[in-house]
Amino acid sequence: MKLYTSLTSPYGRKVRIVCLEKRIDIQLVEVTTGTPDSPVNAINPLGKVPVLVLDDHRALYDSSVIVDYLDHISPVGKLIPADARQAISAKRWEALCDGILDAAILIVREKRRPPEFQLAGVMAHEQGRIDRGLAQLASDLAERKWCMGDTFTLADIAVGCLLTYLDLRFPDLQWQTQYPNLLKLRVRLNERPSFIDTQPPPPAS
């Protein structure tokens, strides 16, 4: 299998961590999106990463679909609980994290526009989504060791990828002070080899 992604994509990192946790070997293909000649355009009509190309040449996207598939093909380290209610709970964590990431990436893209073309209202709206989302994550986590209680799951991977992205792109957000329980979780996650091995490179200046 081949995983097409960029090293800075938090969605792609989520997939890479899942592969490491489940000991699934994949070939990593680093790509750049947003250009007419990007190879991603030929395998994902949306032109987005990550994309997992299976051995029969079928392409899976987006990251949520990919991690579902990976968790099903290997019994090692199940990351989505077998119980239906628990599985939905884990996917809810993932959906919230992905939604916060969507908002953060929209702000990053808006800030790359010339200042006179940046839409302050759009950025304020997306920042509200980030702020409310982080508050919900912290409330749901409470004082548990992991998002789902005593067991490491996909929910923890999703939260870890989100928090690292915010550290890289929003260094002034100071979520660590406001939500110390999320900070404790992030520190715990960053001790895992899968998180160490997939640390994204620093953003270009």
C-alpha closest to that of 136 among 86, 170, 88, 181: 181
CATH number belonging to domain 2-73: 3.40.30.10
Q: Torsions phi, psi of 129, nearest 5?
A: -65, -40
Query: Which pLDDT score is estimated for 199?
Result: 96
pTM: 0.96
For the domain bounded by 84-192, which CATH number is listed?
Answer: 1.20.1050.10
Long-range contacts of 31-36 (CB under 8 A, 24+ apart): 31/4, 31/5, 31/6, 32/6, 33/6
Task: Give the residue ranges of DSSP H helices in 8-119.
Answer: 10-22, 40-43, 63-73, 84-111
The domain spans of the chain are: 2-73, 84-192
Q: Which two tokens stand for residue 178?
A: 């406001």
pLDDT in single tens digits along all 205 residues of the chain: 999 999 999 999 999 999 999 999 999 999 988 788 889 999 999 999 999 999 999 999 999 999 999 999 999 999 999 999 999 999 999 999 999 999 999 999 999 999 999 999 999 999 999 999 999 999 999 999 999 999 999 999 999 999 999 999 999 999 999 999 999 999 999 999 999 999 999 876 5
